[in-house]
């Protein structure tokens, strides 16, 4: 049997190790840090100092069921660290952080703690970058709290409901059923809160508040969770300055984080932080 066969126990063990973050770490200079949110949740993060006296720190926020040590998240963070400092965060209930995930509501406090930490380190500018659930969170954080100099939302929906993709149905089963939450906790390593959302403002209703903070929205043509129309809606509701990338062949969230894309995104962040926005591309 080939080692890549999905029926091979070794293959399943490798996938589980990646999902749980076992034995994984950043290759370059870094240090692991602990943060505490306003509501008392302890968070794990990894700080990559980047170039000497880096002016900008990018807070990297993963999606649902992910964490800061997943291989493609590390690819992105390490590419960004060639030009900026980076703070890669584990949301509450994920990775090495404490607490339970609300799947996007209270996690705005996690981003706020990360932004405050980056400011305390002396970085003059802080960009927040999120994928899928993380993309929702960074938009909501910037709309509710401000404090970001650039917001990047990758593979995020504009609305909380009205999605009928099979992939999202599976994620919803994990969130909303007792058996699903048990699977998430003991197999996937993610603790899901029993508390529902309390009429939280969706991205489409809050994105206009970001201005004049620059906003970059990235969405792939192969996203199996959310249609491109969601990214277009978010872009249309946002005020300038804003930019939309429609990426051909890009999957959902971290699926599209190739080394080539990560370098292109890194260079685009430098351009946008300098005030140069292109509008709509792709």
What pLDDT is stored for residue 176 in this prediction?
84
Q: What is the Cα–Cα distance from 49 to 99, expressed in whole angstroms?
A: 27
In this prediction, residue 175 has a pLDDT band, given cuts at 50, 70 and 90, of confident
Identify the structural domains of the chain with CATH numbers, from first to last.
29-281 (3.40.50.1820)
Residue 5, pLDDT above cutoff 70: no
Q: What is the Cα–Cα distance from 248 to 223, expressed in whole angstroms?
A: 10
Give 58: exposed, middle or buried? Use CB within 10 Å, 0-12, 13-18, 19+. Answer: buried
The pLDDT tens digits for 68-98 are 999 999 999 999 999 999 999 999 999 999 9
The pLDDT tens digits for 16-63 are 555 665 567 798 899 999 999 999 999 999 999 999 989 999 999 999
The closest of 87, 72, 70 to 21, measured between CA atoms, is 70
List alpha helices for 146-245, DSSP H.
166-176, 178-186, 203-206, 228-237
The residues with which 271 forms a beta bridge, in sequence order, are: none
Beta-carbon count within 10 A of 12 CB: 11
Secondary structure letter of residue 276 according to DSSP: -
What pLDDT is stored for residue 3 in this prediction?
40
Run of H or E including 251: none
């Amino acid at each position: 049997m080939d080692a890549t066969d999905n029926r091979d126990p070794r293959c399943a063990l490798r996938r589980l190790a990646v999902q749980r973050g076992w034995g994984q770490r950043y290759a370059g200079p870094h240090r692991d840090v602990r943060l505490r949110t306003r509501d008392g949740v302890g968070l794990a993060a990894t700080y990559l100092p980047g170039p000497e006296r880096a002016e900008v720190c990018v807070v990297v926020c993963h999606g649902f069921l992910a964490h800061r040590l997943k291989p493609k998240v590390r690819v992105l963070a390490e590419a960004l660290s060639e030009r900026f400092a980076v703070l890669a965060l584990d949301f509450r209930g994920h990775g090495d952080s404490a607490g339970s995930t609300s799947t996007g509501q209270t996690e705005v406090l996690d981003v706020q703690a990360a932004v405050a930490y980056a400011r305390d380190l002396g970085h003059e500018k802080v960009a927040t970058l999120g994928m899928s659930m993380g993309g929702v969170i960074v938009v909501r954080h910037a709309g509710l709290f401000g404090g970001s100099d650039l917001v990047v939302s990758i593979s995020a929906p504009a609305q909380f409901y009205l999605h009928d993709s099979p992939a999202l149905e599976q994620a919803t089963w994990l969130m909303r059923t007792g058996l699903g939450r048990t699977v998430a906790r003991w197999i996937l390593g993610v603790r899901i809160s029993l508390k529902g959302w309390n009429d939280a403002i969706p991205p489409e209703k809050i994105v206009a508040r970001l201005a004049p903070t620059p906003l970059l929205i990235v969405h792939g043509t192969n996203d199996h969770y959310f249609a491109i129309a969601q990214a277009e809606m978010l872009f249309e509701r946002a005020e300038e300055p804003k930019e939309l990338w429609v990426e051909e062949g890009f999957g959902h969230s971290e699926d599209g984080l190739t080394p080539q894309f990560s370098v292109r995104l890194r260079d685009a962040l430098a351009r946008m932080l300098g005030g140069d926005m292109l509008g709509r591309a792709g």
